[in-house]
Amino acid sequence: MYRLKLVPDKTKIPFVSVRYIAIGLSLAVVIAAVAMVFIKGFNFGIDFKGGTVIEIETQKPADLTDLRTRLNALKIGEVQLQRFGDDRDVLIRVGTIKGDSSEDAGEKVVQKVKAELGNEVTYRRIESVGPQVSGELIRAATLAVLVSVVAMFAYVWFRFEWQFGLGAVLSIVHDVMATILVFSVLQLEFNLTTIAALLTIVGYSMNDTVVVYDRMRENLRKYKKMDLGDLIDLSLNETLSRTIMTSTTTLLALVSLFIFGGEVIRSFTFAMIFGILIGTYSSIYVAAPVLMAIGITRDWGTGQLTRAKTNPGA
């Protein structure tokens, strides 16, 4: 039997030699993400801006122009129509009417839509979120992401050293900001499933990073006189096959979900696909090389990473 190998057993890729280019690109991504959030913002789903989503199936190919005209005449707020799946599937999004903060605002919209469309369509899914609830969800989602990043920093600091914790957090922040940048630029719907994807990406990226750090710690004890840059390259090459294989198998499942999973989980699966790709990149080109960029060197006597206080020739 032959084993599948996406990466040769013994690679000698000089990852550290391009660390400045990698860090420069990562900084550019973070800055671009912050800029796009202020310039373009997000295409928030009803979870965060309130409103109603109605998924329908028409009896014949849907006429979006006719549906839009009929629904706009109801004066129920901003109406957005989107075809997905085949030509009979339509997603109706209705924004919250300004000044209407009542809890039953969504129910009123649903009743008016049903009264207009009647039995011409089949109602597959109906979701409504009020303005007050959407505001609470934004705060809770932001807090969840921040708490997860802080918890990861504490975990890596406890297991390794604070320098490793800082490298891991910078890697996670890079992954989250890169995903945010893509959603802002492409104006993909940003909803609660996207937050769930971001939290999953944080965990996946940390898992990849810890594997690299663990091998690095082993090599620090094993090769007490090896140059730090060479040791980081060695550790990355030794874990490269595992990193690529794990990412590839995960992507196979996610791509299948993206293609066949339907509109409901599409934003989640897209965020996960991009997150796995960027997380794999950051585990190799951000989390490990950043250890050299923050001004650390190795204490040859103990085999541990410490602040660069000692004589380089010691």
DSSP letters spanning 274-313: HHHHHHHHHHHHTTTTHHHHTTEEEETTTTEEEETTS-TT
Residues of the chain with pLDDT under 50: 1, 300-314
pLDDT at 42: 84
What domain range includes position 114? 51-129
Are 236 and 284 a contacting pair, CB within 8 Å?
yes
Q: Look up the CATH number of the domain holding residue 141.
A: 1.20.1640.10
- Tell me, yes or no, whether 187 and 250 share the same domain: yes
Whether residue 105 is contained in a domain is answered as yes
- C-alpha dihedral sign at 256, 257, 261, 267: negative
> Within this chain, do residues 154 and 94 fall inside the same structural domain, yes or no?
no
77 and 178 housed in the same domain: no
Final residue before a domain boundary, out of 108, 129, 150: 129
In whole angstroms, how far apart are CA 108 and each of 98, 113, 116, 121? 14, 9, 12, 18
Instruction: Specify if 5 maps to a domain.
Output: no
Q: Same domain for 231 and 120?
A: no
Token duo for residue 132:
């007050």
Q: Within a domain: residue 3? A: no
Largest CA-CA distance found in the chain, in angstroms, rounded: 83
Residues 124 and 95 in one domain: yes
Asked whether residue 160 falls in the same domain as residue 220, the answer is yes
- Which has the closest alpha carbon to 10: 259, 265, 241, 242? 241
Together in a domain, 197 and 289: yes
Asked if residue 299 lies in contact with residue 222, where contact means CB atoms within 8 angstroms, the answer is: no
Element (H, E) at 73: none
Q: Taking the alpha carbons of 62, 68, 74, 80 in that order, is the dihedral positive or negative? A: positive
- Amino acid 36: pLDDT: 92
**Same domain as 253, residue 119:** no
Which residues fall within 8 angstroms of residue 244, CB to CB, at 6 or more apart?
6, 7, 280
In a domain, 120, yes or no: yes
- The answer to whether position 254 is within a domain reads yes
**Does residue 1 sit within a domain?**
no
Q: What is the pLDDT of residue 32?
A: 93
Q: Is residue 6 part of a domain?
A: no
Q: Do both 157 and 273 map to the same domain?
A: yes
- End position of a domain, from candidates 104, 129, 154: 129
Q: What is the 3-state secondary structure (H, E, C) of 177-210?
A: HHHHHHHHHHCCEECHHHHHHHHHHHHHHHHHHH
**CA distances (Å), origin 271, targets 210, 226, 250, 279:** 22, 39, 13, 11
Write the burial class of residue 18 (CB in 10 Å: 0-12 exposed, 13-18 middle, 19+ buried): middle
CATH number at residue 99: 3.30.70.3400
Residue 257's identity, in one-letter code, is L
Is residue 313 in a domain?
Answer: no
**Chosen domain end from 82, 104, 129:** 129
Please tell me whether residues 291 and 152 are part of one structural domain. yes
Secondary-structure breakdown of the chain: helix, strand, coil percentages, each rounded to the nearest 5 = 60, 15, 25
| Residues 119, 143 within the same domain | no
89 and 189 in a common domain = no
**What is the domain count for the chain?**
2
Q: What is the pLDDT of residue 301?
A: 38
